[in-house]
Amino acid sequence: MDFSWSDEQRAFRDRVVAFARESLNDDLRTLDAQGAFPRVLWDRCAAFGLLGLAVPEAYSGTPDVDFLTAMLAMEGLGYGCRENGLAFGINAQLWTVQLPLLRFGTNAQKERWLPRLCRGEWIGAHAITEPEAGSDIFNLQTHARRVEGGYVLHGAKCLVSFAPIADLALIFATLDPALGKWGITAFVVEKGTPGFHAGPVQEKMGLRTVPIGAFTFDDCFVPDENRIGPEGAGVSISTHSLEWERCCILASQLGAMERQLETAIAFARERKQFGQAIGKFQSVAHRITDMKLRLETARLLLYKVAWLKQNNKSAMLEAALLKLYISESFVASGLDAIRVHGGRGYLTENEVERDLRDAIGGLLYAGTSDIQRNIIARLLGL
Amino acid sequence: MKSQLRQYIQETLLENGAPHAVQDDENLLGSGLVDSVGMMSLVLFIEETFGVAVPPEDVTIEHFLSIDTIATYLEARVAA
């Protein structure tokens, strides 16, 4: 196992950090307050090539990079860009929409959808959660009925990132409820398809710039050519995607934790109380020490999982450990950062509290912390 | 091959560790004997034990319904 980075990889990360700092930090408080999706920033990321990182050049139009480099770039994005919602949204599209299309799609499907997604012209959503299928994720009610030339979908999805603005959705529906989860099949539905409706933006606590909402399918016909993978392979496609998502989606949170730590250290060295810098008080210094420990242990887990995936090794257990640990660490460090900053950290204008609000979602999406613990326990033979 | 599959499923994957003699034609999926985490573990066991790569799109009820269907699938993969 070798976690060292090449000069080229480090240089690429540095370019991403510089780009993010210069181009992605405009007027963030307003965006957060309005819950507005920053389409301009999204387009800048597409022009830089970030939306094509997980996709070969033939479809993305941007030079190929290996998975480890892509993950390092996402870490750099989280470090340089203070808008956690943007980094989350990019990761969500890369790993839960583009990657399944690349891995399981036909050539025609890849040619139709991937270039548009990589260029930022279209936005993709991954829709699996339903009102009665949250942590019990495969208890789907959305139904696909076989008809001449395709399928008719009926049902609803909720808590879908990008649903209100998505141009296409990767959705999961069951062909036969009697087959349980083994009847689940994946489809792509394009915006404008009759019977396919997106609900309005729903307000939420954090990641407010990523619009979240619901889809409904009211006798929505999708042609055969929009089915992804074989019938009944939906569980495997979803599980495969979720494992990648758990590996990658939090890489940007690691970058954000590093930025957060540096900000806390700078403040603790500058801010004086009782005649000395507050960092000289053990209670403050120890809190920052804990933030550093979380950052470095999270980094080791992330790099181990990335190394396993790069080398085509199973990362079931490690991905669950990683998802659990980084998401919980970001919340804990977000709270510590506010404590270090005191009242200033509580004020929205100083952009400290936003990290904590943005971190909470990580405890829930891609499998809650409780579900990660369940997976880990099962894999330990419990 | 079937005996190794049977032993792994019986000793490692069965929920609750309840004694249960798995039959080769028994439905592993619809009956809930093997859940989705168990299926991931089974695929890993197959890949490591038999040296056969199992792509995710092949993990369907057609191939993994029972020990019989898994064996048939693996024999075809090996022969291919």
- ipTM of this model? 0.76
Query: Distances in Å between the alpha carbon of A11 and those of A74, A114, A316?
Result: 14, 27, 31
| Residue reference for tokens 């995607």 | A241
pLDDT score at B2: 85
Query: The CATH number of the domain where B49 resides is what?
Result: 1.10.1200.10
Q: What is the C-alpha separation between A127 and A311, in angstroms, rounded?
A: 29
Query: Distances in Å between the alpha carbon of A99 and those of A53, A144, A239, A369?
Result: 10, 23, 13, 24
Query: Distances in Å between the alpha carbon of B73 and those of A92, A128, A219?
Result: 34, 29, 35
Residue A164 has pLDDT above 60, yes or no: yes
Q: What is the C-alpha separation between A185 and A235, in angstroms, rounded?
A: 7
Contact A378 B29 (CB under 8 A): no
* Mean pLDDT of all residues belonging to chain A: 93
* Nearest one of A201, A215, A252 to A85, comparing CA atoms: A252
One-letter amino acid for residue B3 of the chain: S
Alpha helices, DSSP H, located in chain A: 7-23, 28-34, 39-48, 57-60, 67-80, 84-93, 99-104, 107-118, 234-248, 251-270, 282-310, 316-341, 343-346, 353-360, 369-379
Q: What is the DSSP letter of A165?
A: G
CB atoms within 10 A of CB B80: 6
Q: How many domains does chain B have?
A: 1
Helix (H, G, I), strand (E, B) or coil at A320: helix
What is the pLDDT averaged over residues A204-209? 96
Interface mutation target, options B12, B31, B37, chain A, most CBs of A under 10 Å:
B37
Contact B57 A235 (CB under 8 A): no
Catalytic-labelled residue, pool A83, A245, A258, A318 = A245
Residue A1 has pLDDT above 70, yes or no: no
Helix (H, G, I), strand (E, B) or coil at A280: helix
Interface mutation target, options A241, A242, A309, A378, chain B, most CBs of B under 10 Å:
A378
Q: Please, what is the end-to-end C-alpha distance for chain B in angstroms?
A: 17
Q: Which residues of B touch A (CB under 8 A)?
A: 12, 29-30, 32, 36-41, 44, 56-62
pLDDT score at A136: 74
pLDDT score at A362: 94
Contact A180 B38 (CB under 8 A): no
What band does A176 get if pLDDT is binned at 50, 70 and 90? confident
Range of the domain at B70: 2-79
Most confident listed range (A67-71, A178-182, B17-21):
A67-71
Domain boundaries, chain A: 7-123, 125-236, 250-379
- Choose the closest CB to A237 out of B12, B29, B56: B56
Which residues pair with residue A189 across a beta bridge? A169
Could you read off the pLDDT of A85-133 as tens digits, one per residue?
Answer: 999 999 999 999 999 999 999 999 999 999 999 999 999 999 999 987 7
- A225, A109 contact by CB (below 8 A): yes
- A137, A127 contact by CB (below 8 A): no
pLDDT score at B18: 58
Which superfamily does CATH assign the domain made up of A125-236 to? Butyryl-CoA Dehydrogenase, subunit A, domain 2 (2.40.110.10)
- State what percent of residues in chain A have pLDDT above 90: 80
The domain defined by A250-379 folds into Butyryl-CoA Dehydrogenase, subunit A; domain 3 (1.20.140)
CATH architecture of the domain with residue range A7-123: Orthogonal Bundle (1.10)
Using N-to-C axis directions, what is the helix angle for A234-248 and B36-50, rounded to 10°?
90
Could you read off the pLDDT of A316-354 as tens digits, one per residue?
Answer: 899 999 999 999 999 999 999 999 999 999 999 999 999
Contact B59 A316 (CB under 8 A): no
What band does A301 get if pLDDT is binned at 50, 70 and 90? very high
Give B-chain residues touching A237 at CB under 8 angstroms.
56-57
CA of B49, closest CA in chain A: separation in Å? 14
Residue A382 near chain B (CB below 8 Å): no
What is the pLDDT averaged over residues A19-35? 94
One-letter amino acid for residue A208 of the chain: R
Contact A378 B37 (CB under 8 A): yes
Among the ranges given (A69-73, A210-214, A288-292), the one the predictor scored with the smallest mean pLDDT: A69-73
Helix (H, G, I), strand (E, B) or coil at A110: helix
Exposure string (b/e) for A68-92, b if CB count within 10 Å is 16 or more? bbbbbbbbbbbbbbbbbbbbbbbbb
Contact A316 B40 (CB under 8 A): yes
What band does A2 get if pLDDT is binned at 50, 70 and 90? confident
What is the pLDDT averaged over residues A280-299? 97
Could you read off the pLDDT of A208-259 as tens digits, one per residue?
Answer: 999 999 999 999 999 999 999 999 999 889 888 877 877 777 899 999 999 9
Contact A182 B37 (CB under 8 A): no
What is the pLDDT averaged over residues A362-370? 92
pLDDT score at A134: 75
Give B-chain residues touching A178 at CB under 8 angstroms.
30
Residue A178 has pLDDT above 90, yes or no: no
Beta-carbon contacts of residue B36 (< 8 Å; ≥ 6 apart): A138, A181, A235, A239
What is the pLDDT averaged over residues A309-314? 84
Residue predicted with more confidence, B24 or A38: A38
Give B-chain residues touching A240 at CB under 8 angstroms.
56
Alpha helices, DSSP H, located in A143-281: 234-248, 251-270
Alpha helices, DSSP H, located in chain B: 2-8, 36-50, 61-64, 67-79
pLDDT score at A49: 95
Could you read off the pLDDT of B1-38 as tens digits, one per residue?
Answer: 888 888 888 877 776 555 678 888 888 877 677 777 88
Q: Sign of dihedral through CA atoms A371, A375, A381, B1?
A: positive
Most confident listed range (A2-6, A112-116, B7-11, B64-68):
A112-116
pLDDT score at B16: 54
The structure tokens listed for A41 are: 């920033």
